[in-house]
Structure 1
């Protein structure tokens, strides 16, 4: 099978959120061929280059979303009229003054215009686009907040819109590119899925969408973190991304959320529950085996926190909770092991947390922040004096998660692989992941967090029972093997239901069912054939229908 893997800011680049699971997917399904179509998010990401790709990746096409991509074309009168009609439909839907079905009509109309004539970059940044958007914002029925938009707001929104719609102008939509794949697998929603929408529109290629972090939710969270855009611009962007998510979910043959929390978001955005299949992220468990099987014992008085140091993790509440723990258990310690901080916000937050620790433990803060000098230590995972990841979880008896915002809690699963008892806040997919193998408390409640930690610190037998149950659950649900098995089955299911009309190499009419599902099964599957010649060339390692076995 030939898979078109669609990524946004991840694989095959050396940085990015989707690169690890995409790499495991591609390597684990080595009997398939993969064509990677990747959108990059920054010049820095491109400068870091790609990871080493396995041989089953036959082609890589990339396109930047961070730099202007003007094809140098402009529209004539007829094309401007088409653009005005399609963009008007989209703008009316985004502003709320038109029917939501106009969004899809406008989207595909713009895609066809870009495919035939180009020039979409200049058109979306033109005065015509601004005037159309202004009319839609001021039309009867438009949302009140967008009615207050001004010219700078229109310019800011069309700039963001052009970036989001840039995949429409790519040269990926030919019979020798996305038209040649059997299945498009989008590694996220949003812009990454746009090429998949067009592949389905132009060639009937089925679309599979995987979301381990719902793109719409990520947009909402990002908009609330220091966004300097005006209220009308934020409203317009939220409406656009919501309509795009709804169209992606409508067109996808199967959607695979990474957890029930993500699934609820997708259903709220219009996804058909019948097309949703929860597939948990696959994680490497081997490196945690020694800790998980009891070969490494942790300090029975130590609490461990592992993750990225940022405000969403609410280390402030954790420090206040540990102050309560310390009052009742003077031997207790807290080790905070974080990934290297990146960006000024994280650096400021880390400094604030260090200052709070010094304030809460004034008599013990004179020494350096090293294990043994202070009940609270701040360490960097992988640093010269800090443990590796598995050793970080092995350092204590209880692992704590104190977040106020969380998607799929990766650090919690790693702690479960290590057989550690956990105390977590009830956010995101935490309860689904834990499944009764750890203690869960409300977020932003230091007293409840402290009580749960004390309960486990004082009961070693309970810690051992919960840790063993947690490891068993993690090995059953969250390994790479279960992830690969799920996608292997979904790929074959989608191919078996695909009724594409394959294009022949000659000038004859396309053949219905020209690529039967059996043609993708290695080996000899029929003794003879009748009827027209098969149009497809068998994949490497696959016997052609009717051909003798090698």
Structure 2
């Protein structure tokens, strides 16, 4: 029987595009030796599937956080009589006696981390998970008992961190509402599998932590971007309340620590990520870098005729971390040297407010004939080949597929020096600091000023580097070897434990 892997995702595969989804798709489609089950945490239950799954994906568990009043509407308890029984069983007495002590311990572990060791916090998450397997999530979390417990801890036990007289009831309610949504994965049963593989040190890693502690399932963690850093960047701009923001900082920090602590092995996609993991006290022997890989037979140079006008190409979803606003500001500067330049941005907007700001910026600078929002493309090879220069403007990255795919296509590349991008490009492209439109513009002008042949020679070097280091075959084989190694070690450990008994 083939090994079975539970691959967990958050806001990505198979319902949304992006680099993590590309990685998941390649992993599942190119590893027939293994069966996969997918557990996908999504924003709402109505997202359509965006990818054609491979035959070895045997189950997809969608875990929506929003878009429903009660998780029972999209729950796992079938027939409905099971769900009804769990609601009937969830009485005030049960909540007080069985849940509130766990909830208090959870909140103290999150808000006062110095007073609780990480192993105790992990076992608390497991105990809450086991509670929700029996009792109703919505009825428990919406109870007056939970509200009173949360309000008390938020305004008394956390006095050293915040000023309770400045916390409004609205802020407390907003925080508890968010906590309600973010803990929904805890009420989902863990499928029977041989290994759990999380695509982020985030809430999608909670099944891995629970599986490790409760069922002794080995837990593997891959980090693409640094979740804790990206969460901090996001919260700084999206949550106005200092109290709510600080609580979420503490919550996400606790979740990241749990993921790092309980993962058997952490496979960051670049060496840059290891610095963050080591800052969070992950032992070096638990960390092994595995670079993302692309298919050199799929992404290769094309012999299209030269463009009538210079084309600067950008590939990526449109949201704040991809930095398209910086690229638009750079376009205004590049126009001064190349008046007929076109900036062609391929990618679907996933943050509509940010996309609106990008469109407004285009209008402010009068760039309507310069900046082209080209939308999603199903032909990335053709898209990369359209550009004289590929320009990436991200604020935060892991090891982006857009860069290594462009390298395989033999493109002349300039990128911000974030995450693993410098490790990918080496000396085959240009690097500039993030959020510096003038420096990005200068680098683009430098590449556009080269002859077509000079840019082509840059592309030859970048493709050679990609073939040596970043092939899909090498990436997938490393993951397969790691799966089999961890499963084998777990089975040996199980045999030894049984023999002792």
- The two structures have a TM-score, normalised by structure 2, of 0.84
SS of corresponding position for 1:5: strand
Q: Which residue in 2 is equivalent to 1:43?
A: 45
Q: Which residue in 1 is equivalent to 2:173?
A: 155
1:123 aligns with 2:135: no
Q: Which residue in 2 is equivalent to 1:258?
A: 269
SS of corresponding position for 1:437: coil
Q: In 2 relative to 1, CA 221–398 (structure 1 residues): closer, same or farther, beyond 3 Å?
A: same
SS of corresponding position for 2:389: strand
Q: Which residue in 1 is equivalent to 2:32?
A: 30
Decide which of 127, 130, 136 is 2:153's aligned counterpart: 136
Give the count of matched residue pairs: 478
Q: Which residue in 1 is equivalent to 2:449?
A: 458
Q: In 2 relative to 1, CA 475–298 (structure 1 residues): closer, same or farther, beyond 3 Å?
A: farther
Using the alignment, how far apart are the partners of 1:496 and 1:311 within structure 2? 42
Q: In 2 relative to 1, CA 185–306 (structure 1 residues): closer, same or farther, beyond 3 Å?
A: same
Decide which of 481, 486, 489 is 2:478's aligned counterpart: 486
The structural deviation recorded for 1:484 is 0.3
Q: In 2 relative to 1, CA 323–19 (structure 1 residues): closer, same or farther, beyond 3 Å?
A: closer
The structural deviation recorded for 1:15 is 5.6
SS of corresponding position for 2:63: strand
Listed one character per residue, the Cα deviations across residues 444-472 of structure 1 (whole Å, up to 9, x for unaligned) are 43443343334333343653442211111
Q: More helix per residue: 1 or 2?
A: 2
CA RMSD of the aligned region, Å?
3.3
Using the alignment, how far apart are the partners of 1:255 and 1:40 within structure 2? 23
Q: In 2 relative to 1, CA 150–270 (structure 1 residues): closer, same or farther, beyond 3 Å?
A: farther
The structural deviation recorded for 1:309 is 4.2
Using the alignment, how far apart are the partners of 1:98 and 1:199 within structure 2? 25
The structural deviation recorded for 1:241 is 1.2
1:201 aligns with 2:213: yes
Larger-Rg structure: 1
Using the alignment, how far apart are the partners of 2:341 and 2:122 within structure 1? 56
Using the alignment, how far apart are the partners of 1:325 and 1:414 within structure 2? 25
Decide which of 374, 377, 399 is 1:380's aligned counterpart: 374
1:91 aligns with 2:85: no
Do the aligned residues in 2 keep the contact of 1:381 with 1:389 (CA within 8 Å)? Answer: no
1:305 aligns with 2:313: yes
Do the aligned residues in 2 keep the contact of 1:95 with 1:239 (CA within 8 Å)? Answer: yes
Decide which of 431, 436, 460 is 1:445's aligned counterpart: 436
Q: In 2 relative to 1, CA 313–54 (structure 1 residues): closer, same or farther, beyond 3 Å?
A: closer
Using the alignment, how far apart are the partners of 2:492 and 2:37 within structure 1? 19
Using the alignment, how far apart are the partners of 2:40 and 2:391 within structure 1? 36
Using the alignment, how far apart are the partners of 2:254 and 2:218 within structure 1? 20
Using the alignment, how far apart are the partners of 1:316 and 1:55 within structure 2? 40
SS of corresponding position for 1:255: strand
Q: In 2 relative to 1, CA 300–76 (structure 1 residues): closer, same or farther, beyond 3 Å?
A: same
The structural deviation recorded for 1:275 is 1.0
Do the aligned residues in 2 keep the contact of 1:302 with 1:397 (CA within 8 Å)? Answer: yes
Note the 1:46-61 alignment, pairs <5 A.
48-49=48-49, 51-61=51-61
Using the alignment, how far apart are the partners of 2:124 and 2:112 within structure 1? 14
Listed one character per residue, the Cα deviations across residues 192-217 of structure 1 (whole Å, up to 9, x for unaligned) are 12122222122211101122133333
Decide which of 352, 360, 366 is 1:358's aligned counterpart: 366
Do the aligned residues in 1 keep the contact of 2:293 with 2:404 (CA within 8 Å)? Answer: no
Do the aligned residues in 1 keep the contact of 2:293 with 2:474 (CA within 8 Å)? Answer: yes
The structural deviation recorded for 1:107 is 1.9
Q: Which residue in 1 is equivalent to 2:421?
A: 430
Decide which of 324, 336, 341 is 2:344's aligned counterpart: 336
Q: Which residue in 2 is equivalent to 1:362?
A: none
Do the aligned residues in 2 keep the contact of 1:137 with 1:146 (CA within 8 Å)? Answer: no
Q: In 2 relative to 1, CA 377–185 (structure 1 residues): closer, same or farther, beyond 3 Å?
A: closer
Q: Which stretch of structure 1 is more off in the superposition, 14-23 or 391-400?
A: 14-23
1:296 aligns with 2:313: no
Do the aligned residues in 2 keep the contact of 1:97 with 1:136 (CA within 8 Å)? Answer: no
Do the aligned residues in 2 keep the contact of 1:404 with 1:444 (CA within 8 Å)? Answer: yes
The structural deviation recorded for 1:30 is 0.6
Using the alignment, how far apart are the partners of 1:315 and 1:52 within structure 2? 29
SS of corresponding position for 1:111: helix
The structural deviation recorded for 1:77 is 3.4
- The two structures have a TM-score, normalised by structure 1, of 0.77
Q: Which residue in 1 is equivalent to 2:232?
A: 220
Q: Which residue in 1 is equivalent to 2:78?
A: none
Listed one character per residue, the Cα deviations across residues 104-140 of structure 1 (whole Å, up to 9, x for unaligned) are 343233223334x423433333222222223323446
Do the aligned residues in 2 keep the contact of 1:298 with 1:396 (CA within 8 Å)? Answer: no
Task: Pick 1 or 2: higher relative contact order, CA cutoff 8 A, min separation 6.
Answer: 2
The structural deviation recorded for 1:434 is 1.3
Do the aligned residues in 2 keep the contact of 1:382 with 1:389 (CA within 8 Å)? Answer: no
Unaligned runs of 5+ in 2: 73-85
SS of corresponding position for 1:288: coil
Q: In 2 relative to 1, CA 299–262 (structure 1 residues): closer, same or farther, beyond 3 Å?
A: same
Using the alignment, how far apart are the partners of 2:6 and 2:323 within structure 1? 39
Note the 1:162-241 alignment, pairs <5 A.
162-172=180-190, 177-178=191-192, 181-228=193-240, 230-241=241-252
Q: Which residue in 2 is equivalent to 1:114?
A: 132
SS of corresponding position for 1:428: coil
SS of corresponding position for 1:494: helix
Do the aligned residues in 1 keep the contact of 2:95 with 2:140 (CA within 8 Å)? Answer: no
Q: Which residue in 2 is equivalent to 1:522?
A: none
Do the aligned residues in 2 keep the contact of 1:92 with 1:137 (CA within 8 Å)? Answer: no
